[in-house]
């Protein structure tokens, strides 16, 4: 044998499941997408084709369906933890089970200003997300959200930056700042996950709106700091803010001014500002 197995993981990705919960005529809806990965001593499978320790990924899929039936799925984190612990407890060779869940959100519609019992509209593109890692005896939970696309058309500047021979960017004290927020925060396995997410989300959005921004970096830090102030359930948050550029269009060739009114939104390239903010 010229080589050996230095690391391995296997599992099932993109297991979709929708759960309809009924309280009389009133229904609730959760649509989840689940990724499962198991690490451990699966060397015999790799080197000898001995599958006796390998729980099929098809079984992992079935497990998602079955446990979605018996668990209330009160949060994506509690369901992810249930799944992760299940695999740690069921599969002998597993050292670590990793379960990621993202949620597709459905909003109850209103007809005649009354919430409807069983009709829903897809929200988007924001998705709650979490990752749970279970080892024998310990669980780590990371909550988060992705795809929260927000934009402010005032109170964003970028000037006084470093310049080198390749710098052509003009300074500005009034630009559009748009982003798609990805946030993730470690949280205790017994915390109220939904309460934490709600508090973080509100803090992120209202700080983005209120901030007199000198840079995406400064706004990111203010958002993170606000999230930590908003709830004692978390002590750290990682934010990833792409700078979704809206370029001011030059209308001068057409004899027109452009007082920050007409912009060209582009998807690529984009800036990407990331940081972890931690409570002192």
Report 60-99 residues binding its own copies (CB under 8 A): 61-63, 65-66, 68-70, 90-91
Pick one of 81, 182, 220, 231: the residue that binds its own copies (CB under 8 A).
220
Site string for its own copies, 171-200 (x = CB under 8 A): -----x------------------------
Does position 15 interact with its own copies (CB under 8 A)? The reply is yes
Indicate whether 105 belongs to the interface with its own copies (CB under 8 A).
no
Give yes or no for residue 269 binding its own copies (CB under 8 A): yes
Least Å distance, CB 92 to its own copies, is 8
Known active-site residue 211: no
The answer to whether 130 and 191 have CB atoms below 8 angstroms apart is no
Interface with its own copies in residues 111-140 (CB under 8 A): 111-112, 116-125
For the chain, the distance separating the N- and C-terminal CA atoms, rounded to the nearest angstrom, is 51
Give the residue with the Cβ less far from its own copies, 191 or 203: 203
**Using an 8 Å Cβ cutoff, are 145 and 124 in contact?**
no
Site track for its own copies across 221-260, x = CB under 8 A: x--xx--xx------x-x---xx--x--x-x-xxxx-x-x
Residue 83 exposed, middle or buried by CB count within 10 Å (0-12, 13-18, 19+): buried
* Window of 17-25, 77-85, 129-137, 188-196 that interacts with its own copies by CB under 8 A: 17-25
CA gap 94, 249 in Å, rounded? 56
140: three-class secondary structure by DSSP = strand
Nearer to its own copies, 105 or 188 (CB): 105
- In DSSP terms, 248 is beta-bridged to 263
Closest CA to 236 of 188, 176, 165: 188
List 19, 43, 57, 59, catalytic entry: 57
Is 57 part of the annotated catalytic residue set? yes
Q: 200: buried, middle or exposed (CB in 10 Å: 19+, 13-18, 0-12)?
A: buried
161 near its own copies, rule: CB under 8 A: yes
> Following CA atoms 218, 223, 224, 228 in sequence, which dihedral angle do they give, to the nearest 10 degrees?
140
Q: Is 159 in the site for its own copies (CB under 8 A)?
A: yes
Regarding 24 and contact with its own copies (CB under 8 A), the answer is no
179 is catalytic: no
* Residue of 41, 72, 95, 169 that binds its own copies (CB under 8 A): 169
Give the catalytic positions in this structure. Answer: 12, 57, 245
């Amino acid at each position: 044998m010229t080589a050996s197995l230095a690391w391995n993981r296997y599992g099932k990705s993109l297991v979709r499941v929708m759960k309809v919960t009924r309280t009389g005529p009133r229904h609730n809806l959760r649509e989840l997408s689940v990724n499962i990965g198991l690490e451990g001593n699966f060397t015999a499978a790799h080197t000898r084709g001995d599958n006796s320790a390998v729980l099929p990924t098809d079984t992992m899929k079935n497990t998602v369906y079955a446990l979605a039936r018996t668990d209330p799925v009160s949060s994506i984190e509690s369901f992810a933890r249930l799944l992760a612990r299940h695999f740690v407890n069921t599969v002998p060779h597993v050292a670590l089970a990793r379960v990621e869940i993202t949620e597709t959100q459905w909003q109850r519609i209103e007809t005649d200003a009354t919430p409807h019992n069983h009709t829903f509209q897809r929200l988007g593109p924001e998705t709650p997300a979490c990752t749970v890692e279970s080892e024998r005896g310990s669980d780590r939970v990371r909550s988060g959200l992705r795809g929260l696309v927000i934009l402010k058309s005032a109170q964003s500047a970028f000037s006084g930056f470093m310049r080198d021979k390749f710098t052509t960017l003009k300074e500005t004290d009034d630009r559009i700042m748009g982003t798609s927020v990805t946030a993730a925060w470690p949280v205790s396995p017994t915390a109220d996950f939904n309460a934490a997410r709600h508090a973080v989300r509100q803090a992120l959005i209202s700080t983005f709106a209120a901030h007199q921004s000198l840079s995406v970096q400064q706004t990111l830090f203010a958002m993170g700091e606000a999230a930590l102030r908003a709830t004692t359930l978390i002590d750290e948050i990682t934010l990833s803010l792409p700078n979704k550029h809206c370029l001011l269009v030059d209308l001068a060739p057409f004899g027109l001014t452009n007082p920050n009114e007409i912009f060209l939104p582009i998807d690529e390239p984009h800036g990407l500002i990331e940081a972890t903010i931690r409570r002192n």
